[in-house]
């Protein structure tokens, strides 16, 4: 099996663990390659994120490392996260669990797709988000005005510090901190959460992916669109953001842990 290893680069222990994991996987007969940044730290040959095509991509890091990997891969390969971060909702295995799991790989593995959202601004595709896209003002302490339309019908208009456009996967991330609900990832919907809205009546919305969703800026203030914390785009003052279900979902290895089992464990051990 061809396996690409990705490590967070700001933690020496994570890098050493990744190097040790590579040796173990090679001993088991797997072909191991490193992502280029990881490879440089370990003095090995590597491959760019954009060029990864593999049977399995193993990410040693937290949710940020997983999001970076998904965002930068042009073709989605199955991902397995080994948690070397604070919470790790996207990393199913703890380091001490990895050995037993990899020993079972000879029998193959199951995968589960995770919906992503595609963001278009004035018709231009900017990228896909696994967790969320957030629209925020360029200047702190300034509010933005938003208009939301569903199937071409005005559905909401409000003022807020910003707006989160989250996937069900992202409901346990920024969206949860902003007061949104935890959403079963088997539900395919767009979760809209106003950030610090001016009116208490401006509440989160969960909208089916089968509907047409558009968010318009109605402001004279400059704003930014940030996708999964990885890339930032400047929005013009009257930008229209079209939200669609991506045709290219992220693919995660199923380790046997259910979503609600992970939520219960992670939230009790923060």
Angle of CA points 114, 127, 174, to nearest 5°: 60
Q: Is 63 a catalytic residue?
A: yes
Kindly report, residue by residue over 150-180, the tens digit of the pLDDT: 999 999 999 999 999 999 999 999 999 999 9
Kindly report, residue by residue over 36-66, the tens digit of the pLDDT: 999 999 999 999 999 999 999 999 999 999 9
pLDDT of residue 265: 80
**What is the rounded distance in angstroms from the CA atom of residue 198 to the CA atom of residue 166?**
20
| Active-site entry in 63, 92, 161, 228 | 63
Record the tokens describing residue 89, joined without a space: 């909702």
Please give the C-alpha separations between residue 189 and each of 79, 119, 179, in angstroms, as whole numbers.
Answer: 22, 14, 17
**What is the rounded distance in angstroms from the CA atom of residue 235 to the CA atom of residue 217?**
9
How large a percentage of the chain has pLDDT more than 70? 99
Return the higher-pLDDT residue of 222 and 49. 49
Residues 6+ apart with CB under 8 A from 145: 157, 158, 159, 217, 218, 219
Report domain extents, the chain: 2-114+249-268, 117-245
Ramachandran assignment for 241, one of left (phi > 0), alpha (psi -120 to 50 degrees), beta (any other): beta
Q: Indicate whether 8 pLDDT > 70.
A: yes
Residues 6+ apart with CB under 8 A from 224: 135, 136, 137, 138, 232, 233, 234, 235
Query: Is residue 27 within 8 Å of residue 40, measured between CB atoms?
Result: no
Which class is 117-245 in CATH? mainly beta
Q: Name the one residue in this structure whose structure tokens are 């990832």.
A: 185
**What is the rounded distance in angstroms from the CA atom of residue 139 to the CA atom of residue 221?**
8
**What is the rounded distance in angstroms from the CA atom of residue 108 to the CA atom of residue 104?**
8
Kindly report, residue by residue over 59-105, the tens digit of the pLDDT: 999 999 999 999 999 999 999 999 997 778 899 999 999 999 998 88
On average, the pLDDT of the chain sits at 93
pLDDT of residue 86: 78
Kindly report, residue by residue over 111-160, the tens digit of the pLDDT: 999 999 999 998 899 999 999 999 998 777 789 999 999 999 999 999 99
Which class is 2-114+249-268 in CATH? alpha beta
pLDDT of residue 270: 62
How many other C-beta atoms lie within 10 A of the C-beta of residue 107? Answer: 6
Q: What is the mean pLDDT of residues 6-30?
A: 96
Whole-model pTM: value is: 0.92
């Amino acid at each position: 099996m061809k396996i690409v290893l990705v490590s967070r680069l700001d933690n020496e222990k994570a890098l050493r663990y990744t190097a040790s994991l590579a040796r173990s996987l090679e001993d088991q007969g797997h072909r191991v390659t490193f992502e280029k940044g990881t490879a440089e730290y370990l003095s090995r040959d590597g491959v760019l994120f954009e060029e990864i095509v593999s049977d399995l991509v193993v990410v040693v890091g937290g949710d940020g490392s997983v999001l970076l990997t998904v965002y930068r891969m042009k073709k989605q390969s199955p991902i397995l996260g080994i948690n070397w971060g604070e919470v790790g909702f996207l990393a199913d295995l703890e380091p001490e669990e990895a050995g037993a799991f990899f020993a079972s790989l000879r029998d193959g593995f199951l995968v589960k797709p995770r919906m992503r959202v595609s963001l278009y601004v004035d018709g231009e595709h900017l990228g896909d988000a696994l967790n969320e896209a957030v629209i925020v003002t360029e200047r702190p302490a300034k509010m933005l005005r938003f208009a939301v339309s569903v199937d071409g019908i005005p559905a909401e208009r409000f003022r807020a510090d910003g707006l989160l456009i989250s996937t069900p996967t992202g409901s346990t991330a920024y969206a949860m901190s902003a007061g949104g609900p935890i959403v079963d990832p088997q539900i395919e919907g767009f979760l809209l959460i106003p950030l610090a809205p001016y009116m208490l009546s401006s509440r989160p919305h969960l909208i089916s992916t089968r509907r047409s969703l558009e968010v318009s800026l109605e402001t004279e203030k400059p704003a930014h669109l940030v996708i999964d914390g990885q890339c930032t785009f400047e929005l013009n003052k009257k930008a229209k953001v079209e939200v669609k279900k991506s045709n290219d979902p992220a693919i995660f290895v199923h380790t046997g842990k259910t979503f609600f089992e992970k939520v219960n464990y992670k939230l009790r051990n923060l």
